[in-house]
Amino acid sequence: MARPSSAARKRQEKFSLPAKRTVTLHVNGVAREVTIAPWTTLLDALRLHLDLTGTKKGCDHGQCGACTVLVDGRRINSCLALAIMKDGAQVTTIEGLARGSTLHPLQQAFIEHDAFQCGYCTPGQICSAAGLIAEGRARTADEIRELMSGNICRCGAYPNIVAAIEEAMEGKAAAKSGEAAR
């Protein structure tokens, strides 16, 4: 094949895209390689590259919380994180919370308290609540409400969401005191 002319090479250089890179994300305990452009968000890497569609795209601007996941144990908005910056990170999504067929206590509590209607915000609500419980800053219903303010529910299931989180928190506290008693 003939080599491209210098004009064509120049054109190519002008329009060449920044190179894709391969990064490793440890998603729900499994190392996954993704080859992505610099502008691929963590949310898009999870949904489009790894087919983990449990994490939802709501506003895509960090305002609704539907995309909440845990990165290295901390809840963040995955729509505002670049996947390329998370090389080597531990990522927990809604798909990673259950243990086999046993639901995570928050998932169980959300069902028992009817803490959702359409369900679109629910994966983000549950991941955010998991982060909230790990942070250990919420003790009262007021504090749960304040520290869940980054997750919007347009069906308005808030009272039941708070009740579900309170129950999961109590369960965790009971498990802890049980451990201490042993």
User: Which residues of the shown chain bind other proteins in the complex (CB under 8 A)?
Assistant: 17-18, 21, 37-39, 41, 60-62, 65, 68, 74-77, 80-82, 84-85, 128, 131-132, 135, 137, 140, 142-143, 145-151
Shortest Å distance, C-beta 146 to other proteins: 5
Shortest Å distance, C-beta 22 to other proteins: 13
* Rounded (10°) angle between helices 158-181 and 105-112: 140
Collapsing DSSP to helix, strand or coil, 128 comes out as helix
Shortest Å distance, C-beta 8 to other proteins: 20
Question: Angle at the Cα of 41 (from 60 to 131), degrees rounded to 5?
Answer: 75
Residue 22 · residue 7 · CB < 8 Å: no
Beta strand ranges found along the chain (DSSP E): 21-27, 30-36, 68-71, 74-77, 90-92
Nearer to other proteins among residue 111 and residue 159 (C-beta): 159
Nearer to other proteins among residue 141 and residue 174 (C-beta): 141
Nearer to other proteins among residue 50 and residue 84 (C-beta): 84
Nearer to other proteins among residue 11 and residue 112 (C-beta): 11
Shortest Å distance, C-beta 58 to other proteins: 12
Q: Integer distance in angstroms from the first to the last C-alpha of the chain?
A: 76
Nearer to other proteins among residue 76 and residue 91 (C-beta): 76
Shortest Å distance, C-beta 122 to other proteins: 16
Collapsing DSSP to helix, strand or coil, 36 comes out as strand
Q: Give the whole-angstrom CA distance, residue 85 versus residue 40.
A: 10
